[in-house]
Each structure stands twice: as structure tokens, then as C-alpha cells.
């Protein structure tokens, strides 16, 4: 196994982790921004107000995007396992 192969596998793994985490992170960002704007407009400064909507939105996004996330993860794993003979030699 060469250095180039290790770097390539690590690069693909990092790229996949970014792609898989993007829907949840973007959801948390958008909901957090909306809650912050709401708090600024209404001057309600309740710390727990941000957590419940974020959690509910992230669970909803996870529920709808889970098949896509699993498909991406299974495809990556299959490709990695199939490439083992080429990597090891």
C-alpha cells in the first residue's frame, strides 16, 4: 500500500463524511438562524427555546434523508471492500 493510496482513501472518507453531515448541519444552521431572528425581534431571551426546534427539525431531516444517507454509505463501503485486492498488492 503506497502513500498515495492511503491519502486517496482518507480523502474519500473525509469527503463522504462532509456530504453525509451536510443536511443535518445546514438544517441546524437555518433553524438556529430563524430562532435567533425571532428572539431578537420579540426580545425573548430563553436559552432553551433554540434546542427543541433544532432537535425536531434535525430529526425530521434525518427521517427523510436517511435512505439517501444509507445508500451513499453502503456504496462507499462496497467500493472500498471491492478495492481491497488492488490496494493490498
Q: Rounded to an integer, what distance in angstroms lies between the CA atom of residue 11 and that of residue 5?
A: 10
Rounded mean pLDDT of 50-67? Answer: 94
Question: What does the pLDDT read at residue 69?
Answer: 96
Q: Who wins on pLDDT, 45 or 11?
A: 11
Question: What does the pLDDT read at residue 44?
Answer: 83
Nearest to 31 by CA among 67, 69, 61: 61
**Residue ranges of the domains in the chain?**
3-88
Band (47; pLDDT cuts 50, 70, 90): confident
Task: Give the least confident one: 11-20, 36-45, 68-77.
Answer: 36-45
Amino acid at each position: 500500500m503506497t502513500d498515495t493510496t492511503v491519502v486517496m482513501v482518507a480523502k474519500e472518507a473525509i469527503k463522504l463524511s462532509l456530504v453525509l453531515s451536510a443536511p443535518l448541519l445546514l438544517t441546524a444552521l437555518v433553524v438556529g438562524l430563524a430562532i435567533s431572528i425571532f428572539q431578537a425581534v420579540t426580545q425573548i431571551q430563553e436559552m432553551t427555546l433554540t434546542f427543541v426546534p433544532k432537535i425536531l427539525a434535525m430529526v425530521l431531516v434525518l427521517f427523510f434523508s436517511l435512505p439517501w444517507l444509507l445508500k451513499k454509505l453502503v456504496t462507499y463501503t462496497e467500493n472500498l471492500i471491492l478495492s481491497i485486492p488492488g490496494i493490498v498488492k
